[in-house]
Chains A and B, each alone.
Chain A
Amino acid sequence: MLDILTRYDILGAFWMTIQLSFWAALGSLALGTILAIMRVSPVAVLQKLGALYVNVARNTPLTLILVFCVLGAFYILQLSLAPASAPLRTQIFLWAIVGLSLYHAAFVCEALRSGVNTVPVGQAEAARAIGLTFTQSLSQVILPQAFRGAIAPLGSVLIALIKNTTVASIIGSQEASAMMKTIVENETGSLLVFFIFALGFVILTLPIGVGFTEMSRRLAVKR
Chain B
Amino acid sequence: MSAQAVLFDAPGPKARRRHAILTVLGLLLAAGIFGAFIWRLYETAQLEPQLWTPFLEGQTWTQYLLPGLWRTLQAALVSVVFAIVFGLIFGMGRLSQARPLRWACGVIVEFFRSVPVLLMMTFLFFFMARNFGMPGQTASFWAVIVGLTLYNGSVIAELVRSGVHQLPKGQREAGLAIGLTSAKTLRSIELPQALTAMLPALMSQLVVILKDSALGTAITYPELIAAARQLGSRHGNVIAAYIVVGIIFVLINWLLTVAAGRVERFINRRGHTAAPAKTAASTLVQGGGAPGEFGANIADAVEEEVDDWRDRNQRGRRVADE
Contacts and interface: CB of A to CB of B under 8 A. Distances in A.
A166 B285 contact: no
A209 B295 contact: no
Interface in A155-190: 155-157, 159-160, 163-164, 166-167, 169-170, 176-177, 180-181, 184-185, 189
Contacts of B114: 159, 163, 201-202, 205-206, 209
B122 interface: yes
A25 interface: no
Given A114-B285, A201-B116, A59 B22 contact: no
A144 interface: no
Q: Is the interface of A mostly helix, strand, loop or mixed?
A: helix
Interface stretch (B62-70, B178-186, B244-252): B244-252
A184 B122 contact: yes
B286 interface: yes
Nearest to A44: B23
Q: Is the interface of B mostly helix, strand, loop or mixed?
A: helix
Contacts of B249: 59-61, 64
Interface residues of B, number: 80
Contacts of B6: 116-117, 119, 121, 123-124, 142
Contacts, number: 242
Interface string B216-230: 011000000100010
A116 B293 contact: no
A210 B302 CA distance: 21
**Those 5 A-B pairs whose CB atoms lie nearest each other, nearest first:** A156-B295, A61-B214, A209-B291, A59-B253, A189-B130
24 contacts: A38-B26, A42-B7, A42-B15, A42-B19, A43-B26, A45-B27, A49-B30, A56-B250, A72-B239, A106-B299, A110-B298, A110-B302, A113-B302, A117-B6, A117-B306, A121-B317, A156-B281, A159-B294, A160-B295, A170-B217, A181-B122, A184-B126, A189-B131, A213-B287
